[in-house]
Amino acid sequence: MELGALSKLIKMVKSSSIEEAIKALYAVSTLIQNNLAGQEFFYAEDGDAMLQVLYEVFYVVLIIAPNILMCSNVC
């Protein structure tokens, strides 16, 4: 973490490449798991806001969009 890996990974999570973003999110979770200093840095870098945005995007993609498609097929 002293080399700035966590900071770079947090930026990579926001990538337009879905594959890169998923890999970066996995790497971030691995670095901060059971690592108090990493968790503190994650929150200092506004990591909780990043997770909220990801949750909202996944909620729309995985929950709302399929329901809209299902309703349009029925109607």
Instruction: Tell whether the model's pLDDT for residue 15 goes beyond 70.
Output: yes
Locate the domains of the chain by residue range: 5-74
The whole-number pLDDT of residue 40 equals 92
Write the DSSP string, 3-68. Answer: TSHHHHHHHHHT-S-HHHHHHHHHHHHHHHTT-HHHHHHHHHTTHHHHHHHHHHHHHIIIIIHHHH
Instruction: Tell whether the model's pLDDT for residue 74 goes beyond 80.
Output: no
pLDDT tens by residue, 41-73? 988 988 888 888 887 777 666 666 666 656 655
The residue-averaged pLDDT of 34-42 equals: 91
User: What pTM did the predictor assign?
Assistant: 0.67
